[in-house]
């Protein structure tokens, strides 16, 4: 593996994650991550760090379920891959839940030269999934009652509390602020929050900016964007409230 992986190599590593999940190969999935890797799923919850904690995450959220990925678009920006997708998860193989998602992979080259996942951040809306589950009627209610024992058994009390932090979000207010911010950038109005283009050259003229599929996870809103003829993902970080953005990042193809 070269010190500077190509976009194709980055995508190939990312593809190995859903491939391992599909066949429930825990060891293959764990082997994709660096020793210091973190998984934050959903984003805003307490991250899982270290092999044991990642194994507990797998046992809770992957092993009991059938999960498939319908990828709409991949964006490679530097050492980051953002996947714009819809995930379908069948809890205990029975109730299908559709989860719109922006899935971020940050990669690193390990000391032995192997390409590894350093961070996996899954931007999706936990309350929306719970609503889908409860809308399934009695089967959904049965599955929801199973979730807490699974969490406590695999994650312990602290891990369960950490997962529940995923309910804290910028929410609808954050989405409204994001749309106002994007409209301001499109119109050329000055912004107080810094605007960054990780892994790519900055684009000065933002008049072509369009956006859709806004998702709120933690104190962040993500959006599918089109800018300067390129499709990407925007990430807007908020301070503790949902009215003031602290940073805007546009992830566009390198």
Structure tokens given for 48: 């899982």
pLDDT above 60: residue 51 = yes
pTM to 2 decimal places: 0.90
Structure tokens given for 18: 């859903």
Question: What would the pLDDT profile of 54-105 be if each residue is shown by its tens digit?
Answer: 999 999 899 988 999 999 999 999 999 999 999 999 876 577 889 999 999 9
pLDDT above 70: residue 140 = no
Question: What would the pLDDT profile of 196-227 be if each residue is shown by its tens digit?
Answer: 999 999 999 999 999 999 999 999 999 999 99
Write the DSSP string, 50-79: SHHHHHHHHHHHTTTSEEEEEEEEEEEETT
Four-residue CA torsion sign, 208, 211, 217, 218: positive
């Amino acid at each position: 593996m070269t010190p500077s992986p190509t976009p194709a190599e980055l995508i190939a590593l990312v593809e190995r994650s859903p491939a391992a999940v599909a066949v429930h190969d825990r060891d293959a999935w764990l082997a994709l991550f660096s020793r210091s890797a973190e998984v934050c799923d959903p984003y805003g919850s307490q991250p899982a760090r270290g092999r044991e904690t990642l194994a507990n995450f797998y046992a809770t959220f992957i092993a009991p379920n059938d999960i498939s990925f319908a990828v709409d678009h991949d964006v490679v920006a530097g050492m980051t891959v953002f996947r714009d997708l819809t995930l379908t998860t069948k809890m205990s193989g029975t109730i299908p839940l559709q989860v719109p998602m922006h899935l971020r992979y940050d990669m690193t080259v390990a000391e032995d030269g192997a390409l590894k996942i350093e961070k996996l951040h899954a931007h999706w809306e936990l309350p929306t999934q719970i609503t889908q589950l409860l809308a399934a009627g009695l089967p959904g209610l049965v599955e929801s009652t199973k979730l807490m024992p699974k969490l406590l058994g695999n994650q312990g009390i602290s891990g369960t509390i950490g997962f529940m932090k995923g309910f804290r979000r910028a929410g609808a207010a954050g989405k409204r602020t994001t749309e106002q911010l994007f409209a301001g950038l499109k119109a050329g109005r000055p912004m107080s929050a810094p605007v960054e283009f990780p892994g790519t050259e900055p684009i000065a003229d933002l008049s072509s900016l369009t956006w859709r599929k806004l998702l709120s996870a933690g104190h962040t809103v993500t959006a599918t964007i089109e800018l300067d003829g390129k499709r990407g993902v925007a990430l807007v970080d908020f301070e503790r409230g949902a009215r003031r953005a602290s940073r805007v990042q546009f992830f566009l193809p390198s």
